[in-house]
Amino acid sequence: MSTLDSLARALRAGETSSEQLTREALSRIAKSQLNAFIDVLPERSLEQARAADQRLAQGDPSPLLGIPIAHKDIFVTRFWRSTAGSRMLADYVSPFDAAVVERLAEAGMVCVGKLNCDEFAMGSSNEHSYFGPVSNPWDLSRVPGGSSGASAAALAAGIVPASTGTDTGGSIRQPAALCGVTGIKPSYGRVSRWGMIAFASSLDQAGPMACSAADCAKLLQSMAGFDPRDATSRELPLEDFSRGVGRPLASGSVSRPLLGLRIGIPRQWFAEGLDAAQRTVIEAAIADLEQLGAQTQAVSLPRTDLSIPAYYVIAPAEASSNLARFDGLRFGHRAIETRDLESLYERSRAEGFGPEVKRRIMVGTYVLSQGYYEAYYLQAQRIRRLIAQDFAQALSECDLLLGPVTPTAAWLKGAMQDDPTQMYLADIYTLGASLAGLPGMSLPCGFVGQPRLPVGMQWVGADGSEALLLQVADCYQQATAHHLARPAAFC
């Protein structure tokens, strides 16, 4: 897979055109057996590509101009359907673009289609989509992770050089790890949620996915920024996320570019439950980081185990509220054979939502109901505050935290379908950063087993530390080659 820089150079040198790159991406989509795309409009994509070629011919220096991208189908788009992976919105076409789509289009990127996802972003395997499960390109019998599974799978298979995802409890980091690509969840409020179909409003955050940290930095540069249309958008200081990319952290130190970096290793992330092979790979990556000059130290996140119950109270509660609008009248699928208004509501929602979405709506409605609100929802919010304090304490002792993204590598399709609790446990290492609103990223660090499956390591930083995370990740990727590996069937 070509980097965004190499594609930009080729476009400016006249070695290729945006139209040619777009046609190649559309051809790969048509041939793919991953079930990664929900909607593709070749003529609309080619129209955008020709407009990009005109801007290139006029000398427009925009670094992403003319490069193809695909968007997770949780972002609304004009022309392409915006389904959120649900029957409820199977034929919906938005009259406007989401802020993320809008900003990347202004940067000149060409949309080649909408990517499959777990229904309303609820899932960890991309098996909960009305449009069918997505396959992991490293082994088609395995899941790519979720809910941004198709965003990661399309990258790993070389179909597109960039994609967008959303992360509520790990849905960028986890599929990036299972598919061997790079993804970053920015600090909460860094990227506008306007036009992103809501799951849990206090947790949802958009972010970029690509084949390297350097590419993620370029994408995040265009995606980030305050948006007055989004009530959760924050006026954070303007950043150049690429400012440290390509340079060592320690000035003048080429062989040890991470000299002076303090990495915290949370004890709870390496306790019982982490697969032994995964642990070996991540410990080898830690040794590589020490060779690059980083200093490691043990830290504690004592309430890690509480992140699962806290998240699975807060997120379903917010989902119950957000999805109330899909009633067959204002929005969404409308049942045909109904007797009265009540049966219209009941049948429309019963037909429109899948099993996982129904499960979370019911849990959320229960914890918000009279008599249970204080016992469950408010208590979960108190625990959330304590988890955030744990991260603040740990990050006061070091520059960033490092650990696994998932307890295991990609599992077989259907292996957890009958046990949703087991699938929820797969998010044990990613939920804390989401609850605390902190930036986190996943990058490849090795492989396990046969078939050969990628392993990702997770880095979490303090609020607003995306530039540091990206610089450190780039230093690691300059010294290793894990992020360059691709599935044999897609090379």
For 351-408, the pLDDT digits (tens) are 999 999 999 999 999 999 988 898 999 999 999 999 999 999 999 999 999 999 999 9
Q: How far apart, in whole angstroms, are the C-alpha atoms of residue 326 and residue 347?
A: 12
Smallest CA-to-CA distance from 16 within 2, 31, 32 is with 2
In the chain the first and final C-alpha atoms are separated, in Å, by 8
Q: Is the pLDDT at 428 greater than 80, yes or no? A: yes
The mean predicted confidence, pLDDT, of the chain is 96
> Does the annotation mark 171 as catalytic?
yes
Q: Is the pLDDT at 213 greater than 70, yes or no? A: yes
Q: How far apart, in whole angstroms, are the C-alpha atoms of residue 390 and residue 384?
A: 10
Q: Looking at 86, 147, 187, 242, which residue is catalytic?
A: 147
Q: Is the pLDDT at 252 greater than 80, yes or no? A: no
Q: How far apart, in whole angstroms, are the C-alpha atoms of residue 327 and residue 329?
A: 5
For 289-322, the pLDDT digits (tens) are 999 999 999 999 999 999 999 999 999 999 999 9
Q: Looking at 72, 185, 218, 413, which residue is catalytic?
A: 72
Percentage of the chain modeled with pLDDT above 70? 99
Q: Is the peptide bond before 451 cis (omega within 30 degrees of 0)?
A: yes
Q: How far, in Å, are 324, 342, 471 from residue 327 at the CA level?
A: 7, 10, 46
For 111-163, the pLDDT digits (tens) are 999 999 999 999 999 999 999 999 999 999 999 999 999 999 999 999 999 99
The structure tokens listed for 377 are 């929802």
Q: How far apart, in whole angstroms, are the C-alpha atoms of residue 235 and residue 364?
A: 31
pLDDT range class, residue 455, cuts 50, 70, 90: very high
**54: Cβ–Cβ under 8 A, 6 or more apart, which residues?**
none
pLDDT range class, residue 1, cuts 50, 70, 90: low
Q: Looking at 148, 171, 192, 222, which residue is catalytic?
A: 171
pLDDT range class, residue 2, cuts 50, 70, 90: confident
Q: Is the pLDDT at 424 greater than 90, yes or no? A: no
Q: Is the pLDDT at 64 greater than 70, yes or no? A: yes
pLDDT range class, residue 255, cuts 50, 70, 90: confident
Q: Is the pLDDT at 7 greater than 70, yes or no? A: yes
CA 444 to chain CA mean position, Å: 14
pTM of the model: 0.96
The predicted model gives 314-333 an average pLDDT of: 94
Percentage of the chain modeled with pLDDT above 90? 90
Q: Is the pLDDT at 410 greater than 80, yes or no? A: yes
> Does the annotation mark 147 as catalytic?
yes
Amino acid (1-letter code) at residue 23: R
For 17-51, the pLDDT digits (tens) are 999 999 999 999 999 999 999 999 999 999 999 99
Would you say 129 and 116 are in contact if contact means Cβ atoms under 8 Å apart?
yes
**132 or 422: which leads in pLDDT:** 132
